[in-house]
Amino acid sequence: MSANSHSRRQHAGDVLTSRPVQAGTLALIDVAPLRSNDPQARAAVAEQIRAACVDNGFFVICNHGISEHLQQQLFTQAADLFALPDAEKRLLDKSLSAANRGYEALGNQQLQPGSLPDLKEGYYMGRDLAADHPQVMAGKFNHGPNVWPAQLPQFRPLMESYLQQITELAELLMRGLALSLNLPENHFDDFCHEPLTTLRLLHYPPQPVDAAANQRGAGAHTDFGGLTLLLQDAVGGLQVWSEADQCWLDIAPQAGTYIINIGDMFARWTNDLYRSTLHRVINRSGRERYSIPFFYSGNADHRVECLPGCCDSGETPRYAATTVEQHYREMYRRTYSAQPPASPPSGRQATTEVH
């Protein structure tokens, strides 16, 4: 996270108000024309993407090609997985995997400094790489084999099918994003080569009525990578920071769609022309909430620096050049610096301060 987004995050963290917004507040973009052979049809989508990215970096997509049936099957698998006995989940703990694949216990991550540990549990998957794959042999961050719960026979085939489809969709959007920046559609091909990807199942128990003021399902943060494609269930709880209104916007779920947001890489590439915007989750519904974000983070060795044309000559870019790997390692260091608890925390436990 940048110095800029860090100070924005501190300010936003102090704001307690939120306001509900209409489902239509985020731009709804039909992405089917990105698959057409007509360059004008593709350019028209790119123009809508650009407007959304300059605004707050969040938009909703429809006609994306992934079936609602598959999406529902994923939610069923997620509910079954998190309902497993604690002892079984712990055998799948991601701390046992060199690639951070598998189960993450409640309170393991702390996305917002000064908040209590996040009131969510998760399950991490990604591009499945054998132990002898060159990127694994080279020790690339979070690269390696997936971990599968043998208790759920449908889990692996469904997740593998979804990983393939959602990765293709992310790559289609990366082409649209290149176009939106007046770049050749293949501009991000190097970034998209052998990418780091993370598919995460998340379960947010209801926020306790007597929860501390700084208890969140997911504390305020910007996403670390290139692009996030988020599937949320009908419960709600996602909030996006509005710079213009200086308050949190409650984002209503829209069945079948994806909420897309761009991450820190785009802020770096575009010198903040495209916004990597703060968001958080607080599940005040009284019900269990499930979400399934997919993070498209790009090639570990890809060098991320200000694009030509996004910085005036003589102007110093706001962000130093980095690589995907360096940025990820730093963000994991910050948000996982609290030691993993030996047993699920009560949700009121004090946490190690991260800066």
C-beta of 169 vs 178, nearer to ligand AKG = 169
223 makes contact with Fe ion (CB under 5 A): yes
Q: Which residues pair with 276 in a beta bridge?
A: none
User: Which one of 61, 174, 230, 240 is in contact with ligand AKG (CB under 6 A)?
Assistant: 230
- Residue 222 Cβ vs Fe ion, minimum distance, rounded to whole Å: 7
Tell me, by CB under 6 A, how many residues bind ligand AKG.
11
Considering only CA atoms, which of 204, 201, 200, 271 is closest in space to residue 239? Answer: 204
Which residues does 47 contact at the CB level (< 8 Å), separation at least 6?
A: 180
Question: Cα-atom radius of gyration of the chain, to the nearest Å?
Answer: 19
Structure tokens at 33: 């024309």
144 makes contact with ligand AKG (CB under 6 A): no
Structure tokens at 58: 């969040």
Return the exposure string of 214-244: e unless at least 16 CB atoms fall within 10 Å of the residue's CB, then b. ebbbbbbbbbbbbbbbbbbbebbbbbbbbee
C-beta of 106 vs 281, nearer to ligand AKG = 281
Q: Pick the stretch among 132-140, 219-227, 309-317, 320-328 that binds Fe ion (CB under 5 A).
A: 219-227
Question: From the list Fe ion, ligand AKG, none, which binds 281 (C-beta under 5 to 8 Å, kind-based)?
Answer: ligand AKG
C-beta of 127 vs 280, nearer to Fe ion = 280
What one-character-per-residue DSSP string does 182-201 give? TS-TTTTHHHHSS-EEEEEE
- Residue 335 Cβ vs Fe ion, minimum distance, rounded to whole Å: 11
Question: From the list Fe ion, ligand AKG, none, which binds 92 (C-beta under 5 to 8 Å, kind-based)?
Answer: none
The answer to whether the CB of 172 falls within 8 A of the CB of 259 is: no
CA–chain centroid gap for 301, Å, is 20
User: Which one of 223, 233, 264, 325 is in contact with ligand AKG (CB under 6 A)?
Assistant: 223
Residues that bind ligand AKG (CB under 6 A): 200, 202, 218, 223, 230, 232, 238, 279, 281, 291, 293
Residues at the site binding Fe ion, with contacts judged by CB under 5 A: 223
